[in-house]
Amino acid sequence: MAFEELLEDPVIQKYLHELVGPKGMPVAAAPPDGEVTDEELAEELGLELNDVRRALFILYENDLASYRRLRDEDSGWLTYLWTFEYDKIPEQLEEEMYRLLDALEDREQYEHDNEFYLCEVCGIRFEFDEAMDFGFECPECGSPVDAMENTALVQAMEERIDALRDELNVEQETEA
């Protein structure tokens, strides 16, 4: 995928937005070719220097930017020259999808293995043991807690898990 196509992909735009937030998005969405200083980016994009630095640091933490330092011989000041490395984004998105799949599988198993009770007044959900400990009454408001059906939630999770497995080309694990 070409660099320009990469940045036009709505999934990648969403990923970058989740990382850097709305204030950092102009920095993430318009990476220059070659090296650039944070001051140059701030001036070019009309942003606060701290917002640019925050976005650059987040990109750096996620291996999407790197820098090299130059020390001015006369003043001793350090200048950071930033380079964007977005070629790693597809791989990182795939890793995120695997983490999501693992988390969804764990949560689906938890939902499947437990019986839940709900306080209709407070909206608090309890596992069976918790509900029993509280005498099947909400500890917040004293209302009775009723058995909660989570079949629709489990079904939605299973559908999402199946879709992720298809997208990642992962076979369902069979229990022995």
Query: pLDDT tens across 53-109, in order?
Result: 999 999 999 999 999 999 988 898 999 999 998 888 888 888 888 999 999 999 999
For residues 133 and 77, give the distance between their C-alpha atoms in angstroms, rounded to a whole number.
64
Q: Does residue 25 sit in the same domain as residue 58?
A: yes
In a domain, 175, yes or no: no
Confidence of residue 32 (pLDDT cuts 50, 70, 90): confident
Q: Does residue 105 sit in the same domain as residue 148?
A: yes
pLDDT at site 114: 93
pLDDT at site 158: 94
User: What's the mean pLDDT in 122-141?
Assistant: 95
Residues 6+ apart with CB under 8 A from 167: 97
Give the DSSP per-residue string, 59-108: HHHTTSEEEEEEE-TTT--EEEEEEE-GGGHHHHHHHHHHHHHHHHHHHH
The answer to whether the CB of 26 falls within 8 A of the CB of 42 is: no
pTM: 0.65
Domain boundary among 39, 56, 84: 84
The answer to whether the CB of 173 falls within 8 A of the CB of 106 is: no
pLDDT at site 85: 87
In sequence order, the β-bridge partners of residue 168 are: none
In a domain, 176, yes or no: no
Domain that holds residue 105: 90-168
Domain boundary among 59, 84, 109: 84
Task: State how many domains the chain has.
Answer: 2
Q: What rounded mean pLDDT belongs to the chain? A: 89
pLDDT at site 176: 47
Domain boundary among 69, 84, 99: 84
Q: Does residue 61 sit in the same domain as residue 36?
A: yes
